[in-house]
Amino acid sequence: MAQRYVRIKTAQGQTYYGLLQLNRSIQVLDAPPWLQGQPTDLELAPDSYTLLAPCAPSKIVAVGKNYMDHAVEMGTPVPQEPLLFLKPPTTITAADRDIQFPPQSKRVDYEGELALVIGELCVDCTPEQAQGKIWGYTIANDVTARDLQKQDGQWTRAKGFNTFCPLGPWIVREVSAGAKLQTFLNDAPEPVQSASIDQMVFAPDFLVSYISEIMTLLPGDVILTGTPRGIGPMQIGDRVRVEIEGIGHLENTVVPRSAPVIL
């Protein structure tokens, strides 16, 4: 099994990066793994911590309409260049945490995606160089207030609510080019989204290179690589699960927006 890199909080409120062991204990690292974090003598028992989102990026760069069939279902042409937008870090929430449905929206959609985690400073990189800047891979749900997206024209509000970027539950170093991405709602046996990640219009190394020509990517930054066909609405009470072969699954429940969210 691939090593699973996590970020956790102890009952005492301490935050650590670590390696998840088969028995669910955590081997604590002395720094984020992309900053050469090394194992320490501290090991945490399975019942002594809470999983957080696996990184705390300075920014989340997302790519729209990066699967041809999704562009078609949106009624738009496939972009000639990557279509970029930003989600604030405050959208991030962890696996098994709630997605809060904001009162401003009538329709909130799931969008299952592969997420890239940057490991090194990345500026003006070629695609060949960019491949070496991708430290690892995790799962994301690019939650979107679809009605507000259409109403506003630009996407900041629709993509930017608290909890609108479930991320995790961990990071792996490699993922197969043909890994299957699937999204499930509640207990339905059939996925609402199912695609191979090699069906992206723009591949991960190209995306990192393209973005690095616009903005500096920092270690720990996250890139959302786009969602395939099958987006749809979530209702309060729904559970949404995004699975990617070789990584695992990310599951969250939809609730009404209420108290401030703790990341």
237: tokens are 């009470």
Cα–Cα distance for residue pair 109/144, rounded to 1 Å: 5
Among positive and negative, which fits the CA dihedral 122, 83, 148, 193?
negative
Among positive and negative, which fits the CA dihedral 47, 49, 53, 54?
negative
Q: Look at residue 241 in the predicted model and tell me its pLDDT.
A: 98
Q: Look at residue 187 in the predicted model and tell me its pLDDT.
A: 86
Which residue positions in the chain have pLDDT lower than 70? Answer: 1, 259-263
pTM of the model: 0.95
Q: What is the enclosing helix (H) or strand (E) of 92?
A: strand 92-93
Q: Look at residue 260 in the predicted model and tell me its pLDDT.
A: 58
Q: Look at residue 48 in the predicted model and tell me its pLDDT.
A: 96
CA distances from 112 to 12, 15, 53, 86, 232 (A): 33, 27, 16, 16, 11
Which backbone phi and psi does 34 adopt, to 5 degrees?
A: -75, -10
Q: What DSSP string describes 112-163?
A: EEEEEEE-S-BSS--HHHHHTTEEEEEEEE--EEHHHHHHHSS-HHHHHSTT
Q: Give residue 142's identity as a one-letter amino acid code.
A: D
Strand partners, 172: 137
Pairing of strands 248-256, 98-101: parallel
